[in-house]
């Protein structure tokens, strides 16, 4: 049986991105918080965009939020053309940060302001960052 499909544009793994992708593979959402000022960043960053400190810690955050906007991509960039159509959305995470991510399902199944939860999609070398309806079975 074949494994998960390869990502068409695999992530670049660094000391800052690796903890995010390793947590994602375990179904968790992980990002960085500035030690001096407490600012939470997403995606993870090695330097705080608020105070420019280079002292950040990784922490798990709630994998839930609210879908604020979404669109269906039909004319995809070449690395993702075979996956079109697919959904991309803007999610306000419950932790207080906003992110862009894939949205699982069909366009007609979603509405703005619905609750969503993390739903990493199988891929190699790491899952695809995605959300689905909260409480989805």
Three-state SS across 83-108?
HCCEEEEEEEECCCCEEEEEECCCHH
Q: Tell me whether the omega of the peptide bond preceding residue 43 falls within 30 degrees of 0, making it cis.
A: yes
At 73, which helix (H) or strand (E)? strand 64-73
Does position 76 have pLDDT exceeding 70, yes or no?
A: yes
Q: What is the pTM of this model?
A: 0.91
Mean pLDDT computed over 20-31: 96
**What are 86-122's pLDDT values in tens digits?**
999 999 999 999 999 999 999 999 999 999 999 999 9
Q: In what order do the strands lie in the sheet with 29-34?
A: 40-41, 29-34, 56-61
Does position 4 have pLDDT exceeding 60, yes or no?
A: yes
Does position 135 have pLDDT exceeding 90, yes or no?
A: no
pLDDT at 45: 96
- Work out the pLDDT band at 137, boundaries 50, 70, 90: low
pLDDT > 70 in the chain, percent: 98
**Which domains are seen in the chain, by residue range?**
12-61 (no CATH), 62-137 (2.40.50.840)
pLDDT at 2: 72
Select from 100, 23, 96, 95 the least CA-distant residue to 61: 95
52: left (phi over 0), alpha (psi -120 to 50) or beta: left
Q: What is the mean pLDDT of the chain?
A: 94
Does position 82 have pLDDT exceeding 80, yes or no?
A: yes
- Work out the pLDDT band at 79, boundaries 50, 70, 90: confident
């Amino acid at each position: 049986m074949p494994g998960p499909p390869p990502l068409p544009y695999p992530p670049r793994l660094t000391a800052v991105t690796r903890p995010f992708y390793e947590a994602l593979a375990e179904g968790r959402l992980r990002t960085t918080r500035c030690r001096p000022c407490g600012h939470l960043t997403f995606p993870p960053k090695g330097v705080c965009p608020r105070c420019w400190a280079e002292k950040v810690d990784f922490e798990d955050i709630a994998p839930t939020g609210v879908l604020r906007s979404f669109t269906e991509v039909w004319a995809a960039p070449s690395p993702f053309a075979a996956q079109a159509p697919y959904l991309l959305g803007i999610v306000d995470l419950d932790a207080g940060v906003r992110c862009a991510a894939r949205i699982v399902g069909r366009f007609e199944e979603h509405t703005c302001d619905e609750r969503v939860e993390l739903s990493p999609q199988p891929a190699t070398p790491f899952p695809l960052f995605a959300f689905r309806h909260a409480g989805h079975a």
